[in-house]
Amino acid sequence: MAEQNVILEEPKVSTDNYEVVHSKSAVFYPEYERKTDLKHQTHYCPGCGHGVAHKLIAEALEDLGVQDDTILVSPVGCSVFAYYYFDVGNVQVAHGRAPAAATGLKRACPDKIVIAYQGDGDLAAIGTAEIVHAANRGEKISVFFVNNAIYGMTGGQMAPTTLVGQRSTTSPWGRRPINEGFPLHMCELLASLEAPVYIERVALSDNKNIMKARRAVRKALELQRAGAGFTFVEILSPCPTIWGKDPIEARKWVAETMIPNFPLNVFRDRKVEVPNNNVPPHKTVAEVIGDEGSPGRPRPGEGAVEPEPRRHHHFRHLDIKIAGFGGQGVLLLGQLLAEIGMREGLEVSWLPSYGPEMRSGSAHCHVCLSKDRIGSPLISRPNVLIAMNEISLRKFAAQVVPGGTIIYGFGQLPADLPIPHAQVVCIPAAEIADKLGSPKVANVVLMGALLEETECLSSATARKVLEAKVKNPRLLELDRQALEAGRVYIDHTVAIGAVTQADGFAQ
Ligand SMILES: Cc1ncc(C[n+]2csc(CCOP(=O)(O)OP(=O)(O)O)c2C)c(N)n1
Ligand code: SF4
């Protein structure tokens, strides 16, 4: 044909002169946006198993009609760009964390099909803990584990799956068990756990095995669609580039060298009916703690815990940061506030942060009190800061939201520290506690000040929580007095609205 001699300036994919016998799954994007000049090809090397594995997954999703209900978690590794190809919900996560991210996604969206796609460096090295625990918890996700016995993306370092004797840039003599240990067999390892429902190893070595891989991928996804638990398919896969082989030799190497070392098998195929363990608990945490008894609480049969009267809270969400030295009761104060909030029917969270030293190292905690479910317990912009020492005040004061409150556990602010954006209340908590008889209760003095100043929670509930928590009657009495002393100090000594004066008092 005359056209055959025409040299096109821009090569185009044309179907004019041939019949298309293979088509791309509709689960792939029609064009890949990763590179403007490579819209019809992936970034994978010729003969790479990732492309085949992608195709098997895409076709299974299409056959099962779940494209719009699928979330794919892609890893770090050669397949990091999977989200450029799959037209599904996509999340790309930190190295090795796909099972953890997939866990969160599946729990948040139990009706979605959630897939973790991982290489052997990603899953079996940096991500070993994530995969073992996700499998052990029986997370209802499907993991596709592409094992090419090497780190591909980073240029061929030894992976946990590298075979004994196999050379890599970091095992130039070949893997020696005496130095590098033996290859990890992830299917066998995970099959020692109770929870997984389906574990199979397949290989992209020849058409027959690729068809078996196709069935395994499909089965894992079907099981997930049916509500079953953890499913895992290991896919032995060629990496011609790093192995230094052409695509045909690489497939042969999978067949002749990898398969004898990683036998193909169905390691787990639970036919049993999967119990629906997604039923939410019938009782609130507060009720459960009350029922079961906790230090200072009655046990079943010893008298029920009185439910706290529902209280009107003037906030929807309140973020409190408490900071000071270890040993000042910083973390305990946070726990007490969280428990008071819980008893008053709020959603609560408490997140501690402390250094290795138990005493005198810095310690802080985050307490969220909310009428809504709490998305994250981490607080970067607190509404309230309770600073129990000067270092914490200097460190965290600027984080407080404009118009927020800072309760500083000393009589006055450092002279060189203007805090124009927040209301500051200075209260010499340690001195007050000393006068009461124990410096230990300074944190409760601050709690009394907080409750009085912000009216976020009720003092009555605070007293009940102290009664439940503090076993020692002498200390309980001190705590009661400390709570009251904090309240009284705010009422009688600190003028409400004391804004930014160095001494903490209003002008
Ligand atoms: C925290 C962190 N550590 C190390 C790396 C470097 N790194 C990138 S990919 C990779 C291993 C990839 O190997 P594998 O998971 O087997 O995937 P493949 O590329 O072979 O498909 C490593 C170590 C990284 N990106 N992040
Ligand atoms: S380096 Fe290996 S795993 Fe990575 S794209 Fe190339 S062939 Fe595939």
pLDDT, one tens digit per residue, over 323-336 is: 999 889 999 999 99
Counting DSSP H helices and E strands in the chain, the numbers are 17, 13
Q: 39 alpha carbon to ligand 2 midpoint, in Å?
A: 19
Nearest ligand, CA of residue 149?
1
pLDDT of residue 27: 98
| Predicted confidence band of residue 362 (pLDDT cuts 50, 70, 90) | confident
pLDDT of residue 231: 98
pLDDT greater than 60 at residue 405 = yes
Nearest ligand 1 atom to alpha carbon 151: 13
C-alpha distances (whole Å) from 75 to each of 52, 70, 90, 165 are: 17, 16, 11, 27
pLDDT of residue 501: 42
Q: Residues 382-391: what's their mean pLDDT? A: 97
Q: Is 235 in the pocket of ligand 1 (CB under 6 A)?
A: no
pLDDT greater than 80 at residue 12 = no
8 A C-beta contact, residue 448 and residue 482 = yes
pLDDT greater than 90 at residue 148 = yes
Among 8-22, 114-128, 280-294, 423-437, the minimum mean pLDDT is found in: 8-22
pLDDT greater than 90 at residue 173 = yes
pLDDT of residue 6: 42
C-alpha distances (whole Å) from 143 to each of 71, 94, 161, 169, 196 are: 12, 16, 17, 28, 11
Q: Which of 81, 154, 242, 258 to mutate to test the pocket of ligand 1 (most atoms within 8 A of CB)?
A: 154
Percent of the chain with pLDDT over 70: 86
Alpha helices in 383-472 (DSSP H): 390-396, 429-436, 442-454, 459-469
Q: Is 44 in the pocket of ligand 2 (CB under 6 A)?
A: yes
Selection from 165, 167, 184, 185 nearest residue 176 by Cα: 165
Q: Is 50 in the pocket of ligand 2 (CB under 6 A)?
A: yes
Q: 173 alpha carbon to ligand 1 midpoint, in Å?
A: 22
Q: 159 alpha carbon to ligand 1 midpoint, in Å?
A: 9
Q: 416 alpha carbon to ligand 1 midpoint, in Å?
A: 49
pLDDT greater than 70 at residue 302 = no
Q: Is 95 in the pocket of ligand 1 (CB under 6 A)?
A: yes
pLDDT of residue 495: 47
Q: 106 alpha carbon to ligand 1 midpoint, in Å?
A: 24
pLDDT of residue 308: 57
Nearest ligand 2 atom to alpha carbon 148: 3
pLDDT of residue 413: 93
pTM for the whole thing? 0.74
Q: Is 159 in the pocket of ligand 1 (CB under 6 A)?
A: yes
Selection from 317, 308, 316 nearest residue 289 by Cα: 308
More reliable by pLDDT, 180 or 301 = 180
Q: What is the pLDDT of residues 465-497, one digit of tens each?
A: 999 999 999 999 999 999 999 999 998 886 444
Q: Is 251 in the pocket of ligand 2 (CB under 6 A)?
A: no
Nearest ligand, CA of residue 146?
1
pLDDT of residue 89: 98
| Predicted confidence band of residue 40 (pLDDT cuts 50, 70, 90) | confident
Q: 190 alpha carbon to ligand 1 midpoint, in Å?
A: 21
Q: Is 148 in the pocket of ligand 1 (CB under 6 A)?
A: yes
Q: 388 alpha carbon to ligand 2 midpoint, in Å?
A: 55
Q: Is 77 in the pocket of ligand 1 (CB under 6 A)?
A: yes
Nearest ligand 2 atom to alpha carbon 45: 6
Q: Is 148 in the pocket of ligand 2 (CB under 6 A)?
A: yes
Four-residue CA torsion sign, 489, 490, 496, 502: positive
pLDDT of residue 499: 44
CB neighbourhood size of 386 (10 A): 33
Q: 198 alpha carbon to ligand 2 midpoint, in Å?
A: 27
Q: Is 152 in the pocket of ligand 1 (CB under 6 A)?
A: yes
Q: Is 119 in the pocket of ligand 1 (CB under 6 A)?
A: yes
pLDDT of residue 278: 59
Mean pLDDT score of the chain: 89
| 474 secondary structure, DSSP code | H
Q: Residues 6 or more apart from 257 whose CB is under 8 A from it?
A: 163
Q: Is 168 in the pocket of ligand 1 (CB under 6 A)?
A: no
Q: Is 74 in the pocket of ligand 1 (CB under 6 A)?
A: no
CA atoms within 13 A on the CB side of 84: 18
Q: Is 43 in the pocket of ligand 2 (CB under 6 A)?
A: no
- Hey, what are 147's tokens? 């094992």
Q: Is 445 in the pocket of ligand 2 (CB under 6 A)?
A: no
| Predicted confidence band of residue 2 (pLDDT cuts 50, 70, 90) | very low
Q: What is the pLDDT of residues 240-281, one digit of tens each?
A: 999 999 999 999 999 999 999 999 999 999 875 555 555 667
What backbone phi and psi angles, to 5 degrees, belong to 479?
-65, -40
pLDDT greater than 90 at residue 296 = no
